[in-house]
Amino acid sequence: MTMQTTALAPAERAVRLLGGDLTERSLRQYLEGLSGVDAVGLEQRAEGLATRSIKTSSKAWALDRIIELIDLTTLEGADTPGKVRSLVAKAITPDATDPSTPRVAAVCVYGDMVPAAVEALGAAHGDPDDGLVSVAAVATAFPSGRASLAVKLADTRDAVAAGADEIDMVIDRGAFLAGNYGRVFEQIVAVKEACRRDDGTFASLKVILETGELNTYDNVRRASWLSILAGGDFIKTSTGKVAPAATLPVTLLMLEAVRDWHRLTGEYVGVKPAGGIRASKDAVRYLVTVAETVGEQWLQPHLFRFGASSLLNDVLLQRQKLRTGHYSGPDYVTID
């Protein structure tokens, strides 16, 4: 084998795990040495978790927690400042008929909409752990990621400078599938660096694997570890622009990766399934999967998020049902 002895950017986590002479080869050896994934077994386990029956008080808690974990998202070419203002209003007050309804964790928008989101949030802008709403921006030539590194970094810096608290980047799936793990790694390291603010703090970095394009569970496991080693604060399933987006087995697999990272280092990495989660029932299954795989301490905004847009309204309908005892309809929740 040629090449591969090229030294890689000395990302802190990778150096700690793989040693100081971090190279493409050592990274590849590590990723390829990870235990395989048996697809049938993984899907069977996810299916088993999906049969949990969450009722009464547990359901009420789960519904509120789901809202608190939502990244309320609009990622359309047709997005306007008006649309973003509307989204932000919904994020702050999801259900005006019930003031006890919690706020969502964040709004997720394209980079150029960050100023509009920040302005609309005003005093409500801040850390979701404190009950405030963050601004997450997709960056790095989202959703395809097909741009030069310089463009991706500029995209990221722009969003951070405009006040984004969280950056949702995409990995270079082409490079990953071609086996250029080092390239994918270096890009994540560079984007992480671009998340640094002037005061030295960092915007939180979510690394989107786009699992629908990685195709095999073994690839998802490798990409998860690669992203963690490169410094990602979160690993995220999908852009929502590719089908299949988030699935329960894929999310379970990524949770196993952050669980194993925690076993190894004591550090916490977040997981964000995104795309395709529309029903409360599905979202509850994700909560169960988190709680039974990594523990319920992961059910906090800085460790678990749902990337979703229509999920919120379904949860609100379920909440109303719990409160009033009967189902209403889509006309009883606001469209955004």
Active site residues: 168, 236, 272
Stretch that binds another protein, among 19-27, 57-65, 74-82, 309-317 (CB under 8 A): 57-65
Is residue 55 close enough to count as binding another protein by CB under 8 A?
Answer: yes
Cα dist from 230 to 23, 69, 79, whole Å: 13, 24, 32
Is residue 64 close enough to count as binding another protein by CB under 8 A?
Answer: no
Residue 179 to residue 239: CA distance in whole angstroms: 21
Cα dist from 217 to 28, 228, 315, whole Å: 17, 17, 30
Stretch that binds another protein, among 56-64, 131-139, 140-148, 168-176 (CB under 8 A): 56-64
Three-state DSSP state, 332: helix
Instruction: Let me know: does 248 contact 289? Beta carbons within 8 Å.
Output: yes
Residue whose CB is less far from another protein, 61 or 327: 61
* Binding positions for another protein, 98-157, rule CB under 8 A: 129
* Binding positions for another protein, 286-305, rule CB under 8 A: 287, 291-292, 295-297, 299-300, 302-303
Three-state DSSP state, 22: coil
* Binding positions for another protein, 152-211, rule CB under 8 A: none
Is residue 272 close enough to count as binding another protein by CB under 8 A?
Answer: no
Is residue 44 close enough to count as binding another protein by CB under 8 A?
Answer: yes
What does the block give as tokens for 264?
């190894």
Residue whose CB is less far from another protein, 189 or 303: 303
Please, what is the minimum distance in Å from the beta carbon of residue 267 to another protein?
10
Please, what is the minimum distance in Å from the beta carbon of residue 275 to another protein?
24
* Phi, psi (rounded to 5 degrees) for 196: -70, 130
Q: Site for another protein (CB under 8 A): which residue of 12, 21, 32, 38?
A: 38
Residue 166 to residue 39: CA distance in whole angstroms: 32
Three-state DSSP state, 203: coil
* Binding positions for another protein, 1-30, rule CB under 8 A: none
Stretch that binds another protein, among 21-29, 47-55, 164-172, 193-201 (CB under 8 A): 47-55
- Can you list the pairs that 289-295 forms with residues at least 24 positions away whose Cβ atoms lie under 8 Å? 289/46, 289/49, 289/248, 289/251, 289/252, 289/255, 290/255, 292/49, 293/252, 293/255, 293/256, 293/259, 294/255, 294/258, 294/259, 294/262
* Binding positions for another protein, 229-268, rule CB under 8 A: 233, 256, 268
Residue 198 to residue 179: CA distance in whole angstroms: 35
Residues that bind another protein (CB under 8 A): 35-38, 40-42, 44-45, 51-59, 61-62, 65, 129, 233, 256, 268, 287, 291-292, 295-297, 299-300, 302-303
